[in-house]
A and B are shown apart, each in its own frame.
Chain A
Amino acid sequence: MIFDIPIQAFLGQLLIGLINGSFYAMLSLGLAIIFGLLRVINFAHGAQYMMGAFAGYLLLATFGIGYWPALILAPLIVGLASAVIERLMLSRLYNLDHLYGLLFTFGLALVIEGTFRYYYGSSGQPYAVPSALAGGYNLGFMFLPKYRGWVVLASLLVCLGTWLLIEKTKLGSYLRAATENPTLVRAFGINVPLLLTFTYGLGAGLAGLAGILAAPVYQVSPLMGSNLIIVVFAVVVVGGMGSILGAVITGYLLGLLEGLTKVFYPEASNIVIFVVMAIVLLIRPAGLMGKEA
C-alpha cells in the first residue's frame, strides 16, 4: 500500500500513464520538429491528428482498406495535404512575425474541424481494434489490452526513428543546418524551401500517425484533436520549444504524472500538466531541455 492505494492500482496507473505519454510524445515530437525548423507554432496539429484518424476511418468505410495499410496511408495523406497547405499558404508567412503563423494555423484548425463536424457530426465514428491486436494480457495487477501495448511500442519506435533521422542522417544534417543558417545552406545549393515543406509534411504526418493509432482507442471525432492539443502544447513548452529529445521525454514523464494524479486526486488530472508548466516556466523559462534564447 502506498498512501492507501493498493500497489496493484498504483502499477496499473503507471502503465496507463505510459500509454497516454506515448500519444503526448508522438504529438509533441511533430510540434517540436515543426517549431524547431520552421519557427511556426503549429496550432493545426490537433486538426492534423484528427485528420489522421478520419483518414483511417474513411479508407475503411469507402475503400475497405484495413488498419495495417492505413497505418502507412493515413500519415502519408495527412502529410501530403499539409505539405500542399504549407507550399500554398504557410510559406508566405515566414518573413512575418511568428504570430502570423500561429494565427494562420489556428484559423486553419477551426476550418478543418468545422468542416468535419458539418459532415460527420460531433459524436464520432466507430473504428474497431484490428483483430490481431484484440484482447489482452492479464498482468496480475491489471489487464493490459494488446492494442495499448502496441501503441507504446509503436510510439517508442517512431520517436527513436525520427530522432535518428534528424540526428544521424544526411537529410537530418541539412535540416539542422537550415535551421541554424538558411542563407548559408542555400548557398551550398540546397533547396531550403523544399526542405521546409518536407519538414512540415513530416511533422503533420507524425500527427496523422498518432491519429490513426488513436482511432481504435478513442471515438473518431472532429473534436478529438482540440481536446488534446492544449496538453501537447504544454508538453512542448515544458520540454523546451524546438527540443526534440525534450518533447519526447517530457511527453512520457507528464503522461506518467497525469496517471498518478488520477489515482490520488482525479479532479486535478486535467490541470496537473499546466501546473508543472507554470513551475517550469518560472524556474527554467526555456523549458527543461531548451537552449537559453
Chain B
Amino acid sequence: MMRSAIAVAVLIAGTGSASAAEISDGKVKIGILNDQSGVYADFGGKWSFEAAKMAAEDFGGKVLGAPIEVITADHQNKPDIASNIARQWYDREQVDSIMELTTSSVALAVQGISKEKKKIDLVTGAATAELTGKQCSPYGFHWAYDTHALAVGTGGALVSQGGDNWYFLTADYAFGYSLEEQTSKFVKSKGGKVLGSVRHPLSNTDYSSFLLQAQSSGAEVIGLANAGLDTSNAIKQAAEFGIVAGGQRLAALLFTLAEVHGLGLESAQGLTLTESFYWNRDDKSREFGRRFFERTGRMPNMIHAGTYSGVLQYLKAIEKAGTDATEPVAKAMHEMPVDDFFANGARVGANGRLISDVYLMEVKKPDESKEPWDYYKVLATVPGAEAYLDPAESGCELVK
C-alpha cells in the first residue's frame, strides 16, 4: 500500500515577529503524528490534530512573540514509517516536538529517536507504561492514560464488584500482552484468579470462536485486552452470543467515547470503562467539549482532550523557560503543575508521567441518555497516585 503520508501544514499565525531570539528558527513547530486511516483513526486521528490547533489558537497563536505552527502526518501504525517521518521532521523541517503518537510500538520508536536527538515528545494516544518505565526519556512525556491506569481502573472496579475469575481475549501484539499482564497482576493482587486467555490476530473480524472459548471457561469476567474496532466487534458479538445475558461480564480495558459512539448505546450499555476525560463531567469539560464539537462534529475523548492539554502545557513551559530549547523546556514541564480542564493541579513525575485523576465510567442505557454523546455515568474518580505507578517504582532510570 503506497498511501503516502499526508503532511498538512497549517500556519496558525502567519505574521509573527520572527526576531524572537529565544525561539529557534523564529517559530515553534509541533508535529501531531498518529493513525489517520486505520483502526485507530477515530480513537485519535485527525481529531487530535484539531485539538492541537485549538490549543495553539487558545494560547494566542504566538509564544514569546514567535508564531506557533502545528503540522500532522499519518504513520499508518507502522513504526518504520513513523521513524522516517520523525527524523525528517526533526532534521529538515525544524519541528520542535512530536506529540500524540497513537499505537505503542510507534510511540516507543519515536520516543527513542526524540531522546537521541534531544527533542521533546509527548504521548497521548499510546497505552504502554513502558514509555515512562524502562524506556523513559528525559524529554519524553506521557499524558492521558496508560496500561497501568486501565488495569487499576476497569480491572479494580470489576474485582471489587465480585468479578474474581477472569478470562482474557488479547490482541496478539505488544500492547495486548502488556495490558493483559498488568491487568492479570492487578486481579491476582486483589485475590482474583485468571482462568486463561486466548490471543487473536490484530484487525480480526470474527470473534465468535474466541468468545465461545471464553464463555465455556466459566469466568465471571471476560477481559478484552484489545482496542479500537477489535473491541467493538468483540462486544457486539458477545451480545449476540448471549454472553452478557448469561451472567458473564465484559471488561473493555481500552475503550473510549469514540468507540462507544461507533458501537451505539444499544450494544455498549452497561460496559465499565476507564477514561481520564469525559466531556459531560463538569462545566469546564462541557465548555471544551462543545467548542470541539463545533469544529469537528464530534465530542472529544481522553486522547483528544489530552492532546489539547499537552500542547497547551508545552507552550506554557516555553513561556516560562523563556526559550524553546529542549533542556529548559523539559525542566519547566517537570516542575510546573498542570492546571486546565483536563487535569486539576496535577504534577508530572520525574519519569515524564502526568499523574492526573482517571474516571471509572459506566455506559448509559439508551433511555438514560438525554442528548447525543451523553454516554457515561461517572462511577468513581481514581486519584492519579493510585492509577499510575509511583515514578520510583516505574523502572525508569531517571528517577533516583
Taking Cβ atoms with an 8 Å cutoff, the residues of A that contact B are: 6, 8-9, 12-13, 16-17, 19-20, 110, 114, 117, 121-126, 128-129, 135-136, 142-143, 145, 147-148, 217-219, 221, 223-224, 227-228, 259, 262-263, 266-267, 269-270
Chain B residues with CB under 8 Å of chain A are 3, 37-43, 45, 172, 198-201, 203-206, 208-210, 212-213, 215-216, 228-229, 232-233, 236-237, 240-242, 246, 258-259, 261-264, 266-267
A74 to B266 Cα, complex, angstroms: 23
* A-B residue pair count with CB separations less than 8 angstroms: 116
Contacts of B228 in A (CB 8 A): 122-123
Q: Judge whether A145 and B240 touch: CB under 8 Å.
A: yes
Name the one of B42, B204, B209 contacting A270, with C-beta atoms under 8 angstroms: B204
Q: Report the Cα distance A39→B264, complex, angstroms.
A: 41
Cβ-defined contact, A122 with B199, below 8 A: no
A76 to chain B, nearest CB (A): 25
Quick one: which of A12, A122, A269 has the most chain B CB within 10 A?
A: A122
Q: Which of B40, B45, B212 contacts A16 (CB 8 A)?
A: B212
The CA of A227 and the CA of B204, in the complex, are separated in Å by 8
Residues of B within 8 A of A121 (CB): 41-42, 45, 258, 262
User: Are B39 and A122 within 8 A (Cβ)?
Assistant: yes
The answer for the CA separation of A9 and B215 in the assembled complex, in Å, is 10
Instruction: Tell me which of A13, A147, A269 has the highest count of chain B C-beta atoms within 10 A of its own C-beta.
Output: A269
Q: Taking A122-B42, A219-B233, A266-B200 as contacts, is the C-beta distance between A143 and B262 under 8 angstroms?
A: no
- Are A122's CB and B201's CB within 8 A? no
Residues from chain B with Cβ under 8 Å of A223 in the complex? 38-39, 203, 229
Task: Decide if B240 touches A122 in the complex (CB within 8 Å).
Answer: no
The answer to whether B236 touches A218 (Cβ under 8 A) is yes
Residue of A nearest to B263 (CB): A126
Q: Within the complex, what minimum Cβ distance (angstroms) separates A209 from chain B?
A: 18
The contact of A267 among B172, B205, B241, B264, by CB within 8 Å, is B172
**A269 vs B213: C-alpha distance when bound (angstroms):** 14
Q: Which residues of B contact A123 (CB under 8 A)?
A: 41-43, 228-229, 232, 258-259, 261-262
Is the Cβ of A126 less than 8 Å from the Cβ of B240? no
Contacts A121-B41, A129-B240, A218-B236; is A9 near B212 (CB within 8 Å)? Answer: yes
B39 close to A143 (CB less than 8 A)? no
Query: Which residue of chain B lies nearest to A261 when distances are taken between CB atoms in the complex?
Result: B209
Inter-subunit contact A16/B39 (CB<8 Å): no
Which listed residue, B45, B209, B242, B261, touches A262 by the CB 8 Å rule?
B209
